[in-house]
Amino acid sequence: MSARALAVVMLAAVGAVATAAADSPDEHRIDATEPVFADFLDAAGAIETIDSGLTASFDGQDRAAWQERFERSLHTLNAALAGVSPKGISPRGRRALAAMRSGVAFHTSVSSAPAGNCDDAVRPSATGRELRTALYACFSSVGDAIQFEGYSFTRGDALGLLERVDEPERRRALFMAMEPLWRAVNGDNTPDSPYRRMLAAEAAHARTNIADAEASLGLPAGAGERWLEQALEAWSRAGRSETLEPWEFRYGYSSATRTVQACAHHLEDANARFFDDLGANLARLLVIVDVDARPGKAPIDYTDFARIGRSMAGAWRPAIPRVSIHLGEEGLGSANELAHESGHAVHYAAIRARPSLQMPDELSLAAESFADITGWSVFNPAWQRRYLGCAGTESEGRRARLGSVILDVAWGLFEIRMARNPASDPNAVWTEITSRYLHIAPHPEWSWWAVRGQLVDDPGYMITYALGAFVTADLRAHIRARIGKFDAGNRSWYPFVSDRLFRYGGEVEPQLLLRRFLGRPVTQAALLADIRAIGSR
Ligand SMILES: [Zn+2]
């Protein structure tokens, strides 16, 4: 979903215009445009579903018919919104307008499949935007062709393998096999490397992403950095204190992954039973779970609307959420991906908001943390025992879950510091963070941070995951306190979260929605307590 978080710069310091706004002609035009926008989203969702290779037609119509509807609704939409100004309309109307314009921009731009060419990243005249596109392509052409022991691995599979290869020498070799990707992204780490030129040009974009993430939690500007440092400090004190080589870090927190490997089969079925036990039967909620491996399928996991839920002729026509997932090696990592993406799907199915505000960009951070409410469950031994039939210990599960969280937090802090001072040496910034907080041996000679596509595709976006982890921990603790444990099922779960959290989509601003749900603003307490518990057995 990261691509969606792009163009929300239209926010708005709220002016003193709330009164009389409802009578403004522009406000009426925005309201009246909602059904057209819904048609537009439905057509876009149908086309993307067909283009994913899943089916040749959707809802009884082929691609050409949907394309025709797409263009017709786009034309009407553009005409309706052309003269509308955000001045003089209510804050809600302004958010709806911004969301419609952003939705049009998103669905009329190129797809999220890497469209550029990695070689373009070395071209000195490339603009920041061109560098992002080229570098993102490197994640496909170089990143998904990691050569190890005579086989070619995708980046995701290689990172997963680092958690499971038992021999230290082989782990080191696998880690070093990613060097071509580091080099494609950051060359020799000279100031004119592709990444460093890209970041210099796109620093303002990165700072906007960071500010948006903070704003979606109602945090004052700059507060996010302190939160991330606190999480890293807690990890630094709670975890082991011996220094690890970078190829040992993932292996060190992944013993649960290795334990559960033996029984991690039939994951799709396990996932379906889990959601059924939560009162969120995926089939009944019309969720499409596309796990087929086929040529041309998107290399990343995502969830989108095949069609949105909307009011039609006085009745609610339910959404059809579509999960596209690449189930690599069966294991805890894949189980987590399935439970995370299915979490998005059941969130989408519960939304009862006006079309423009079902999934506005500013909901990104909250939506990712909603998906992890269930995503995190698979690390709990109760989940593993019930749905797979074997389990690690609670302490192992916590380490596995928080180990990948803390890496996201480290990348979030890396981006905050790089965005603030784009001339910094990224290897030095990454080495400082990972050696100080994660006790990883310094290797400033390698750009080993360069294994996340978001860093180049959408600079400044990693904070969304990093701060999102605080929200997930807070929400999970709150839900547990209200309805009891749910990691191994609890039929009250879906009615509870649908009614109080999911149904609003983005109609209520995320920070307000979270504050209403929790009865207070999100705090760091739950995640910090979770991390501190790593030390206990
Ligand atoms: Zn997600």
- Ligand 1 centroid to Cα of residue 342, in Å, is 9
pLDDT for 57 beyond 80: yes
Q: What's the CA gap between 389 and 254, in Å, rounded? A: 19
- Ligand 1 centroid to Cα of residue 283, in Å, is 20
Q: Which of 113-127, 174-188, 248-262 is least confident?
A: 113-127
- Ligand 1 centroid to Cα of residue 104, in Å, is 21
User: In which band, very low, low, confident or very high, does the pLDDT at 3 lie, cut at 50, 70 and 90?
Assistant: very low
Looking at the chain, how many residues does it have?
537
Task: For residues 385-414, give the mean pLDDT.
Answer: 96
Q: What is the pLDDT of residues 327-353, one digit of tens each?
A: 877 889 999 999 999 999 999 999 999
Q: What's the CA gap between 361 and 98, in Å, rounded? A: 9
* 212 neighbors 515 (Cβ within 8 angstroms): no
In sequence order, the 6+-apart residues with CB closer than 8 A to the CB of 129 are 202
- Ligand 1 centroid to Cα of residue 289, in Å, is 14
Phi, psi for residue 279 in degrees, rounded to 5 = 80, 15
Per-residue burial over 429-448, b if 16 or more Cβ lie within 10 Å, else e, is bbbbbbbebbbbeeebebbb
User: In which band, very low, low, confident or very high, does the pLDDT at 185 lie, cut at 50, 70 and 90?
Assistant: very high
Q: What's the CA gap between 467 and 484, in Å, rounded? A: 25
- Ligand 1 centroid to Cα of residue 367, in Å, is 7
Q: What's the CA gap between 459 and 209, in Å, rounded? A: 8
- Ligand 1 centroid to Cα of residue 370, in Å, is 9
HSE, CB side, 13 Å, CA atoms: give it for residue 202. 27
Q: What's the CA gap between 359 and 1, in Å, rounded? A: 11
User: In which band, very low, low, confident or very high, does the pLDDT at 111 lie, cut at 50, 70 and 90?
Assistant: low
pLDDT for 6 beyond 90: no
- Ligand 1 centroid to Cα of residue 341, in Å, is 6
- Ligand 1 centroid to Cα of residue 340, in Å, is 6
- Ligand 1 centroid to Cα of residue 372, in Å, is 8
- Ligand 1 centroid to Cα of residue 220, in Å, is 25
Q: What is the pLDDT of residues 348-395, one digit of tens each?
A: 999 999 999 999 999 999 999 999 999 999 999 999 999 999 999 999
Q: What's the CA gap between 472 and 486, in Å, rounded? A: 14
Q: Which CATH number fits domain 116-267+360-537: 3.30.70, 1.10.287, 1.20.1300, 1.10.1370?
A: 1.10.1370
pLDDT for 406: 97
pLDDT for 297 beyond 50: yes
- Ligand 1 centroid to Cα of residue 156, in Å, is 15
Task: For residues 439-461, give the mean pLDDT.
Answer: 96
pLDDT for 5 beyond 50: no
pLDDT for 289: 95
pLDDT for 40: 97
Q: What is the pLDDT of residues 249-274, one digit of tens each?
A: 999 999 999 999 989 999 999 999 99
Q: What's the CA gap between 401 and 378, in Å, rounded? A: 9
- Ligand 1 centroid to Cα of residue 64, in Å, is 30
Phi, psi for residue 6 in degrees, rounded to 5 = -65, -80
- Ligand 1 centroid to Cα of residue 127, in Å, is 29
Q: What is the pLDDT of residues 486-506, one digit of tens each?
A: 999 999 999 999 999 999 999
Q: What's the CA gap between 240 and 154, in Å, rounded? A: 30
Element (H, E) at 31: helix 25-51
In sequence order, the 6+-apart residues with CB closer than 8 A to the CB of 506 are 95, 99, 353, 357, 358, 359, 360, 362, 363
> Hey, what amino acid is at 61?
Q
pLDDT for 383: 98
- Ligand 1 centroid to Cα of residue 14, in Å, is 30
Percent of the chain having pLDDT more than 90?
A: 82
Task: For residues 285-304, give the mean pLDDT.
Answer: 86
pLDDT for 9 beyond 90: no
pLDDT for 431: 98
pLDDT for 4: 39
- Ligand 1 centroid to Cα of residue 368, in Å, is 5
First CA to last CA distance, the chain:
36
* 154 neighbors 146 (Cβ within 8 angstroms): yes
pLDDT for 315 beyond 50: yes
- Ligand 1 centroid to Cα of residue 114, in Å, is 19
pLDDT for 144: 87
- Ligand 1 centroid to Cα of residue 352, in Å, is 20
Domain boundaries, the chain: 18-107, 116-267+360-537
- Ligand 1 centroid to Cα of residue 5, in Å, is 12
